[in-house]
C-alpha cells in the first residue's frame, strides 16, 4: 500500500478535509480527494503528536502553525511510522535508544575502572594486538579521511595525490613496482596502499590498516629508489607493529576503542582527535628503533639496499614522520643510522628500478 486516507487541517482555516496521503520516496504527499496537491512533508520533518488511541496524529517538526494530519487506518499508520524518521509508534526506536544508553554506561564505567587500575598506555598496549584486522582497517579508513583533509592544504592546481595525471602515470607504475617487491617480502596479512602526496616536507606517514603516504619532499630529496623504499620499509614496520593504532588508542582513550568495537565511531569528534594524534605525536624511541630494524630486515629480504635507509635518515635528520623533530647530527639519529648500517646486508643488491623507471618516479608529482 503506497497511499491511504487521512484527515488534514491546514493550520490556517479550521476546515477539516478528507485527503489522500501518498507515501512518496522523499515524504508524505497530501492531496485533496479530487487530486489537488495540498502539502508535502519530508519524512525527516514529521513528528508525532499526542492523540487518542488508534489515531496517528502528525505535525511538521518545529512548525508554528497548527497544520495537522490524522490517520485512522492502523495498517496505513504503521506504514507511515516506518517511513517517518521521528515517528515511533511501536516504540522500537525508543527501545534501541534505551539499550544504547545502557551499553554506553556499562562501557564507560568499565573503561574508567580499567583506566584507574592499569593506566591508559598499558591498556592500549595490551589491547592493540587483540584488535581484529578488520576493525583496524575500519579505524584506518576513518582516520584516513581526516588525515587527508588535514594534510591537503589545497595550495595546488592538481590533485593532492601524485601519480594520477597522464605524465605522472609512469611514476606511479614505478612506485607500484617498488611496492610489489616490498609487499612480497613483508608478507603482511593486509594489503598496503601507498600514495605520494603533494607535501613539501621530506617525510612519510603510515596509518592503521596499511595506508602509507609518502610526501613529495621525500621524493625530491632521494637520490635513488632504495632511499625511498628504505623509508617506506620503515613505515611498513610501524604498520606491522601497529604503532599508529596504539598511538590512537593511547591518545583518544578507551571510550574510542569501545565505540569502535560497537561500530559507532565514524564521523565523530574522536576521529578528528585520532587523526591529530597520528599527525602530531611522535612514537617512542623504542618504536622508532623497532621500525628501523624491521625496515632494515625488510630491505635485506627484498634484496634491496638497506643502507639507503641510513643515508636517507642522515639527510632528513631522522624525522620519518610528521610529528618527529629533526635531529641532525644528534646522537639519537647517529645511533639509529649506525644500527641500520650494522644490520644491512653487505651482499650486492639487485636494483629496485631501471634508470628510466627511477627517472619516472622522480616526476611522479610533475602534475602534467
Residues that bind Zn ion (CB under 5 A): 288, 291, 320-321
**Minimum distance of Zn ion from residue 289's CB (angstroms):** 9
How many angstroms separate the CA atoms of 5 and 367, rounded?
61
366: its cell numbers: 610533475
Sign (positive or negative) of CA dihedral 40, 45, 51, 54:
positive
**Minimum distance of Zn ion from residue 47's CB (angstroms):** 53
- The answer to whether 239 touches 188, Cβ cutoff 8 Å, is yes
How many angstroms separate the CA atoms of 233 and 344, rounded?
13
| 177 or 341: CB nearest Zn ion | 341
| 31 or 311: CB nearest Zn ion | 311
| 50 or 286: CB nearest Zn ion | 286
Q: What is the DSSP letter of 65?
A: S
**Minimum distance of Zn ion from residue 355's CB (angstroms):** 29
- The answer to whether 168 touches 222, Cβ cutoff 8 Å, is no
| 57 or 242: CB nearest Zn ion | 242
| 8 or 283: CB nearest Zn ion | 283
**Minimum distance of Zn ion from residue 264's CB (angstroms):** 31
How many angstroms separate the CA atoms of 26 and 310, rounded?
60
**Minimum distance of Zn ion from residue 243's CB (angstroms):** 8
| 58 or 299: CB nearest Zn ion | 299
Q: Where are the alpha helices (DSSP H) in 152-253?
A: 169-186, 216-221, 225-240, 243-252
**Minimum distance of Zn ion from residue 160's CB (angstroms):** 22
Residue nearest to Zn ion (CB): 320
- How far does Cα 298 stand from its chain's mean position? 27
- The answer to whether 360 touches 171, Cβ cutoff 8 Å, is yes
Give strand pairing partners of 6: 19
Amino acid at each position: 500500500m503506497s497511499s491511504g486516507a487521512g484527515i488534514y487541517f491546514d493550520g490556517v482555516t479550521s476546515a477539516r478535509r478528507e485527503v489522500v496521503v501518498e507515501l512518496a520516496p522523499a515524504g508524505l504527499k497530501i492531496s485533496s480527494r479530487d487530486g489537488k496537491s495540498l502539502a508535502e512533508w519530508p519524512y525527516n520533518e514529521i513528528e508525532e503528536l499526542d492523540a487518542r488511541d488508534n489515531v496517528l496524529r502528525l505535525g511538521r517538526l518545529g512548525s508554528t502553525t497548527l497544520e495537522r494530519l490524522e490517520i485512522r487506518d492502523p495498517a496505513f499508520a504503521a506504514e507511515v511510522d516506518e517511513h517517518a524518521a521521528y515517528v515511533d509508534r511501536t516504540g522500537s526506536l525508543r527501545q534501541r535508544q534505551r539499550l544504547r544508553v545502557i551499553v554506553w554506561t556499562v562501557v564507560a564505567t568499565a573503561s574508567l575502572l580499567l583506566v584507574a587500575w592499569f593506566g591508559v598506555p598499558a591498556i592500549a598496549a595490551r589491547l592493540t594486538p587483540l584488535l581484529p584486522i578488520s576493525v583496524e582497517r575500519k579505524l584506518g579508513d576513518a582516520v584516513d579521511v581526516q588525515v587527508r583533509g588535514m594534510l591537503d592544504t589545497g595550495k595546488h592546481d592538481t590533485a593532492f595525490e601524485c601519480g594520477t595525471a597522464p605524465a605522472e602515470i609512469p611514476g606511479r607504475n614505478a612506485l607500484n613496482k617498488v611496492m610489489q617487491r616490498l609487499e612480497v617480502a613483508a608478507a603482511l596479512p593486509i594489503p598496503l596502499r601507498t600514495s605520494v602526496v603533494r607535501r613539501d616536507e621530506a617525510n612519510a606517514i603510515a596509518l592503521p590498516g596499511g595506508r602509507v603516504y609518502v610526501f613529495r619532499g621525500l621524493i625530491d630529496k632521494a637520490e635513488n629508489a632504495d632511499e625511498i623504499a628504505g623509508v617506506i620499509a620503515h613505515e611498513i614496520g610501524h604498520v606491522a607493529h601497529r604503532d599508529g593504532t596504539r598511538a590512537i588508542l593511547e591518545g583518544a582513550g578507551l571510550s574510542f576503542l569501545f565505540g569502535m568495537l560497537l561500530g559507532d565511531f565514524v564521523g565523530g569528534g574522536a576521529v578528528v582527535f585520532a587523526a591529530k594524534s597520528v599527525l602530531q605525536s611522535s612514537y617512542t624511541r623504542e618504536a622508532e628503533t623497532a621500525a628501523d630494524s624491521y625496515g632494515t630486515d625488510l630491505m635485506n629480504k627484498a634484496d634491496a639496499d638497506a643502507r639507503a635507509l641510513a643515508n636517507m635518515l642522515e639527510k632528513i635528520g631522522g624525522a620519518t614522520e610528521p610529528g618527529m623533530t629533526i635531529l641532525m647530527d644528534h646522537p639519537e639519529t647517529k645511533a639509529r643510522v649506525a644500527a641500520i648500517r650494522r644490520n644491512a646486508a653487505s651482499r650486492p643488491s639487485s636494483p629496485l628500478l631501471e634508470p628510466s623507471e627511477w627517472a619516472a618516479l622522480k616526476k611522479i608529482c610533475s602534475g602534467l
